[in-house]
Amino acid sequence: MTMLDTQIKNEMASENFKLAIDDNPEFILSPMRCNDGNGTLSYLFFSEEFVDMARAKAICARCTSKAECLAGALARSEPWGVWGGELIEEGRIRTTKRPRGRPVTKSHAVLTITEVPLPEHWVA
Domains in the chain: boundaries: 40-97
Residues β-bridged to residue 87: 82, 94
Compute the distance between CA of residue 53 and CA of residue 85 in angstroms, rounded to an integer.
9
The DSSP code for 63 is: -
Q: What is the pLDDT of residues 65-123, one digit of tens each?
A: 888 888 988 898 888 889 888 888 888 888 777 666 776 677 767 777 777 777 787 77
Q: What is the pLDDT of residues 99-114, one digit of tens each?
A: 667 766 777 677 777 7
64-97 burial code (b ≥16 CB/10 A, e <16): ebbeebbeebbeeebebbbbbbbbbeeeeeeeee
CB atoms within 10 A of CB 41: 14
**Torsion 24-27-29-34 (CA) sign:** positive
Read off the pTM: 0.54
